[in-house]
Amino acid sequence: MACGDRVNLERSLRLDQRLGGHLVQGHVDGVGEVASVAAEGEGRRIAFELPAPLARFVAEKGSLAIDGVSLTVAACDGARCEIAYVPHTLRVTVAGDYVPGGRVNLEVDLVARYIARLLETAPAAERRIG
């Protein structure tokens, strides 16, 4: 990122407003890389390489914030995930500028992070279902 680059900026949600998307805190958990960009209808399918420690928090149809934009994961395989961008999102965010090799800021799903932490710290007996 350099001085003068475009960024995504949106007002945060007030606690008395309706939630119409995913929970995003605005933290950067890691940096990923644009692996590929392909046209898909009027939109684009963009693949991202994720840092190994973050990949476990990303699931197909789950959420992932990329450069501050909360998105639904279209496909996920190991440390790579794909997002199917619609034309509107490409126009109003920096996603329309993505090219292979570009770096992006990532924030994993808040709920996934808490579940993983609970499972890591819970005794084995508490983790069994049955």
Q: What does the pLDDT look like over 54-105, one tens digit per residue?
A: 999 999 999 999 999 999 999 999 999 999 999 999 999 999 999 999 999 9
Range of the domain at 57: 30-127
Q: Is the pLDDT of residue 126 over 70?
A: no
Q: How many domains does the chain have?
A: 1
More confident residue, 7 or 119: 119
Is residue 25, in this structure, part of any structural domain at all?
Answer: no
User: Does residue 8 lie within any of the structural domains?
Assistant: no
User: Taking the model in full, what pTM does it have?
Assistant: 0.85
CA distances from 27 to 33, 69, 78, 83, 88 (A): 17, 12, 23, 20, 24
Round the average pLDDT of the chain to a whole number and report it. Answer: 89
Q: Of 99, 94, 106, 100, which Cα lies nearest the Cα of 31?
A: 106
Domain with residue 73: its CATH number is: 2.40.30.20
